Amino acid sequence: MTAEETVARADAIVTGRAVSASESADGMDRTYVFQVDYSYKTVVPAYIEVSTASKGPACGVELTIGATDTVVLGGHRGAWSAVSCSNYGLPTVIPPSAGPRLEPTHADVPDAAHSDASVGTALVRPGWMVALWAFGALVLLVGGVVVATRLRK
């Protein structure tokens, strides 16, 4: 697909940086909070959510948190998505057919953007909570053994 064809099919093209990412419970999809510096084709808020498949072979787009990227988007009005086929080989200079560079509208920073967690990090629990769960599991195990022993007699 040529750069002109990519621009023609895009609903929006944004330049900015991913500030956070989260994966769906099933691990199939990833959502980035993307801070928009400017866009082409349509005005977008300063922060948008961009959904994509979490794996490259499923046409997912992988963005590096904090790195400046230009991303071709499909969808509209808060339901933005990105696929690798539209973003592969995107030229560094956007073709004139994309129109003028547009400034983003003001938008509050989504809660997810304040998180310093990134994709692939472990879920961290306080030590006392882990100890409490371990103690509860031990009590259940011992209680189960005691009940099973009494039922056999």
Its pTM stands at: 0.67
Question: For residue range 92-141, what is the model confidence (pLDDT) as tens digits?
Answer: 788 888 999 999 998 666 655 544 444 433 334 455 556 666 777 788 88
CA distance 47 to 145: 55
The 8-class DSSP code of residue 53 comes to E
The percent of residues in the chain predicted with pLDDT above 90, rounded, is 37
Pick left, alpha or beta for residue 49 (phi over 0 → left; psi -120 to 50 → alpha; otherwise beta): beta
Query: Considering only CA atoms, which of 99, 102, 45, 100 is closest in space to residue 77?
Result: 45
Predicted pLDDT of residue 125: 45
Which strands, in side-by-side order, build the sheet including 29-40?
68-73, 12-23, 29-40, 47-53, 80-81
Q: Which residue has the tokens 């053994």?
A: 145
pLDDT at 40 over 60: yes
